[in-house]
């Protein structure tokens, strides 16, 4: 199917429009939040939180409430649990993350299996963007606006506490609360991304576009815009491949973002391996001529 036919289908099918809209919003917010996650060295933490929302989603499902509430609850609890274990024992941070998130994930799998709904489990884990409902779309949009609003309002504070937490603390910023607020935002982003990329691959959407942008610029503000744009490109092309070849949308979106990362890794003007190799070769040749 050509891009042109994809556009025709887009005009024709409402489900595809919803899917595209949701993917674009998810691409933007994952890109934005991902920048702070990677700069704070919390990539692993992002992985943990995204997996830890599973039991919350399952319990909400069982109780018949919106899974947003359950997900935020178990996500934040896991973040607190990880902090508690690593601060109060010789267990290191990465060990605590490994223990907590796998346990939470396992609890989620047990609950969902007991509910005998393995089809839903598959969709939660791997995403099914073509089945986005109107209500999901609104939740995603709401979370998106909230996340963008928070980052715009607190940009200054996020920048200082990420770059130099000691300075932030010395002039009175509540680093701890900023950390937990970011964890709460992270769980919300995960919930928003459930249907697009699924729990297992959310972390890729958080890290890969942000890491790509990180290779391309020396300014945080530019990095955030770039990361959001890369997230959107990944989502749109991923959706196209998913729709065209009938593949899981999560997988295709993540693969597009990984491809973009590879491009930046090799060809970034300042950081790319190819240019670096080219420059040092040129330097060596010049020295030889002398």
Q: Which residues of 151-161 are buried (b: 16+ CB within 10 A; e: fewer)?
A: beeeeeebebb
Nearer to other proteins, 45 or 53 (CB): 45
Q: Which of 218, 252, 272, 267 is nearest to 27 (CA)?
A: 252
Nearer to other proteins, 139 or 178 (CB): 178
**What would the DSSP string read from start to end of 108-159?**
HHHHHHHTT-HHHHHHHHH--GGG--HHHHHHHHHHHHHHHHHHHHTHHHHH
Q: In whole angstroms, what is the distance from residue 62 CA to residue 108 CA?
A: 12
CB of 38 to other proteins, least distance (A): 10
CB of 153 to other proteins, least distance (A): 6
Nearer to other proteins, 116 or 219 (CB): 219
HEC per residue, 84-98: HHHHCCCCCHHHHHH
CB of 278 to other proteins, least distance (A): 19
Q: In whole angstroms, what is the distance from residue 249 CA to residue 129 CA?
A: 6
Nearer to other proteins, 117 or 217 (CB): 217
CB of 242 to other proteins, least distance (A): 32
Q: In whole angstroms, what is the distance from residue 242 CA to residue 126 CA?
A: 12
CB of 213 to other proteins, least distance (A): 9
Nearer to other proteins, 38 or 205 (CB): 38
Binding interface with other proteins (CB under 8 A): 39, 153-154, 156-157, 159-160, 162-164, 166-167, 169-172, 214, 217-220, 222-223
Nearer to other proteins, 78 or 162 (CB): 162
- 197 Cβ contact partners less than 8 Å away, ≥ 6 residues apart: 26, 127, 129, 204, 205, 249, 250, 253, 254
Number of CB atoms found within 10 A of residue 270's CB = 10
CB of 223 to other proteins, least distance (A): 5
């Amino acid at each position: 199917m050509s891009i042109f036919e994809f556009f025709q289908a887009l005009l024709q099918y409402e489900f595809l429009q919803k899917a595209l809209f949701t993917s674009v919003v998810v691409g933007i917010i994952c890109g934005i939040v991902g920048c702070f996650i990677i700069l704070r060295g919390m990539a692993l933490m992002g992985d943990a939180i995204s997996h830890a929302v599973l039991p919350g989603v399952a319990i909400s499902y069982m109780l018949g409430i919106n899974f947003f509430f359950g997900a935020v609850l178990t996500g934040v609890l896991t973040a607190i649990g990880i902090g508690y274990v690593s601060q109060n024992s010789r267990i290191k941070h990465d060990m605590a993350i490994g223990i907590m998130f796998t346990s939470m994930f396992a609890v989620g799998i047990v609950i969902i299996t007991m509910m005998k709904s393995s089809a839903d489990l598959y969709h939660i884990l791997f995403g099914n963007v073509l089945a986005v409902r109107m209500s999901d779309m609104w939740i995603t949009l709401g979370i998106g606006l909230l996340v963008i609003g928070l980052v715009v309002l607190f940009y200054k504070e996020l920048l200082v506490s990420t770059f130099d937490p000691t300075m932030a603390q010395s002039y009175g910023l509540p680093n701890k609360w900023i950390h937990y607020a970011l964890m709460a935002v992270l769980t919300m982003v995960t919930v928003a991304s459930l249907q697009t990329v699924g729990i297992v691959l959310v972390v890729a959407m958080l890290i890969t576009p942000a890491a790509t942008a990180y290779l391309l610029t020396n300014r945080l503000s530019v990095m955030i815009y770039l990361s959001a744009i890369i997230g959107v490109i990944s989502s749109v092309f991923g959706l196209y491949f998913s729709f065209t070849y009938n593949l899981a949308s999560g997988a295709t979106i993540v693969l597009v973002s990984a491809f973009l990362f590879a491009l930046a890794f090799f060809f970034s003007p300042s950081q790319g391996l190819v240019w670096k190799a080219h420059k040092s070769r040129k330097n060596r040749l010049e020295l030889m001529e002398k």
